[in-house]
Copies of this chain bind each other. A is one copy, B any other.
Amino acid sequence: MSLRHGLLGLLRHHESTGYELSKLFNESLNYFWKAQMSQVYQELNKLEDLGFLVSRSVVQDKSPNRRVYSITDAGIEEFQSWMRADDWDIGASARNIFLLRFFFAADRNLDEVIEILKKTRGRICQRLEEMIYAKGHYGSHGPEGSDRHRLFWSLTADFGRRVVMARLEWIDETIKILEGVENENSGI
């Protein structure tokens, strides 16, 4: 969890379908939450069983039927009680495969490690660009268009940007240090 509360949160103002919700997660909210379509559908189903959502089928002529979900009072209550808990976890989940690999790379060739870090750096830069491009994209899909919502959305975007920047700076610094070690060794 909590994909569950993410879905309730997105549905709290507007009804929507599994397809739309999963697009929203994977396109607009993608750097703080992702979800597989299959999981979204399953979770919506469960939420309906629990009485937090109700659905109706909307027939279309040119595309498949849509199952449109809307939130119930119980659903709103569930969402709000989840939000009320005010010791929000910072969630540094401490499970970073990149660092695990880096740590073990201690007994690899320094050249190789530096090479890999440089490649990684390239990929981080790319992601950073995508993130900057994504900025301002939320307005069109979003469940809310108010200034307040736009502000909060752009602040979450900023969070992502800062964390990525920190990684970039770490990589640059690390490359510098490892290159230093390399020269030192070859110089002796």
A–B complex contacts, Cβ < 8 Å, 24 sampled = A2-B97, A2-B100, A29-B103, A30-B94, A32-B99, A33-B95, A34-B95, A83-B104, A87-B119, A88-B97, A91-B97, A91-B98, A92-B163, A93-B93, A99-B156, A99-B160, A103-B152, A105-B152, A106-B144, A106-B148, A151-B181, A159-B167, A163-B166, A166-B166
Please name all residues of chain B whose beta carbon is closer than 8 Å to the beta carbon of A149 when the two chains form the complex: 106-107
Q: How many copies does the complex hold?
A: 2
| Binding-face segment, A53-61, A70-78, A120-128 | A120-128
Closest to A96 in B: B32
Cα distance, A97 to B89, chains bound together (Å)? 7
| Binding-face segment, A15-23, A42-50, A169-177 | A169-177
Cα distance, A53 to B149, chains bound together (Å)? 53
Interface check A9, CB cutoff 8 A: yes
Are the C-beta atoms of B106 and A152 separated by less than 8 Å? yes
